[in-house]
Structure 1
Amino acid sequence: MIPRTFPPAPAWSPDGHRIKSELDYGRGPEKTWVFGGLRIRDGQEVTMTAPSRSSVCYQQFLERVEQANPTGTIWIVTDNLSAHRSVSTRAWLEDHPRIHHAFIPVGACWLNLQEGWWRLFRKAALAGRSFCNPHDISYATELATAQLNAHARPWVWGRPAPPTRTRKRRYVYVL
């Protein structure tokens, strides 16, 4: 997520035509990345914002995931980002034997089942908002995480079953 500023909307000309201007927006020097994870058994999520997608930031996120899940084995299903496969991350994982990685095969992004959760999170935290700085993005992320965790339910993949319709009238034809 990058804080952006957009120019004001173009106005109308005196003869009633819209004045066309090229889209010109500025991106600030500070980028903010959102890391997120979902515990499917109860729907609780862990999120974190970071200034980069480096191995160090990813390891900080894994520490948060480990703190949120104090017992048992933790499986992280993730893509093949270099920060997820780096030497420092592998060394960090050796020191934390409860955490295991399962990588999505390259070219099979449709297997990433967390994309549905990301869609809901982006809608709750980021949709329709304008952010001036990374602190605004962090605040929106924390607020959306708290709201979604307050209403968390076990995560069920896929589309819900269509509702069953009861018949209003039942006709019996006798010949």
Structure 2
Amino acid sequence: MLQLTLSELPIQFGATHWSSRLLATALAGEGTPISHTTVGRIWHRFGVQPWRVGTFTFSTDPELEAKVRDVVGLYLHPPEKAVVLCVDEKPHLQALERTAPPLPVHPGHPEAASFDYVRHGTTTLFAALEVATGKVTGTCTERHRHQEFLAFLHQVAAAYPRRQLHVVVDNLSTHKHPAVRAWLQRHPRVRLHFTLTSGSWLNLVEAFFSIITRQALRRGNFPTIADLIAAIERFITA
């Protein structure tokens, strides 16, 4: 039963994956009658979950090893008296206003939000996570072009005067714009370190984006963009 689950797909049933009933039917057709509840129990015992699916990506970056060593080296052995920052932007954060107040949590039932909502526009959050302390510097902008990224770099540099800054970023084209490169040449104390392609997991600020989404944004009610930005700022400064 487990061998069939792990080695074949239920193509003959027009399905993409096994259910307990499909597998029981297939086994019965091969002369091995078994109930779907028994199939479910065996799957549970061995941790087999054919109804679930995950995702993955392969990086084809020719400089993969060098970039991983560079960024991980910054995390583990930062240069003396320098600050290591992870920077990225989270675009398209929506100001969603629910059409009815939420139903509060009570025993046996989670909080419930109305399915309907009104969109009031979007904002982009730029954030810089200081690796050593977890401190976050952030700002919200209407757009996420190289101009906004450059303005945020200037803000971050001003927040750490007279310090060498090593900034981890991804390979977005705005991070490599000629205007950004020119600014970096004029400000040699700021150096960018690029993650590998398809390697956002290497940028620690992504963990902050996940946290603020779960704890402050996903269940929020924002009648205006200003309300959304205020909630973001409260979370960052709390």
TM-score normalised by length of structure 2: 0.50
Cα distance, 1:27 vs. partner? 3.9
Distance 2:184 2:216 in 1: 30
- Equivalent residue for 2:143? 52
Residue 70 (structure 1) aligned with residue 194 (structure 2): no
Aligned equivalent of 1:131, options 205, 216, 222: 222
Distance 2:176 2:133 in 1: 28
Q: Which amino acid aligns with 1:128?
A: R
Residue 38 (structure 1) aligned with residue 111 (structure 2): no
Residue 3 (structure 1) aligned with residue 83 (structure 2): no
Overall identity of the aligned pairs, in %: 28
Distance 2:207 2:136 in 1: 13
Aligned equivalent of 2:197, options 106, 121, 124: 106
Q: Which amino acid aligns with 1:96?
A: H
Q: Secondary structure at the match of 1:38?
A: strand
Cα distance, 1:6 vs. partner? 5.7
Distance 1:25 1:121 in 2: 21
**Aligned CA-pair RMSD:** 2.2
Q: Secondary structure at the match of 1:3?
A: strand
Question: Which of the pair has more CA radius of gyration?
Answer: 2
Aligned length: 133
Distance 1:5 1:129 in 2: 8
Q: 1:112 to 1:40 in 2, by over 3 A?
A: closer
Stretches of structure 1 that go unaligned for 5 or more consecutive residues are 9-22, 148-175
Distance 1:125 1:5 in 2: 14
Q: Secondary structure at the match of 1:66?
A: helix
Cα distance, 1:39 vs. partner? 0.9
Deviation digits for residues 4-34 of structure 1 (CA, Å, limit 9, x no counterpart):
35667xxxxxxxxxxxxxx876544x42100
More strand by share: 2
Q: Secondary structure at the match of 2:94?
A: coil
Distance 2:118 2:215 in 1: 25
Residue 122 (structure 1) aligned with residue 213 (structure 2): yes
Question: Is contact 2:200–2:206 with CA below 8 Å preserved after alignment?
Answer: no
More helix by share: 2
Q: 1:119 to 1:24 in 2, by over 3 A?
A: closer
Q: Secondary structure at the match of 2:231?
A: helix
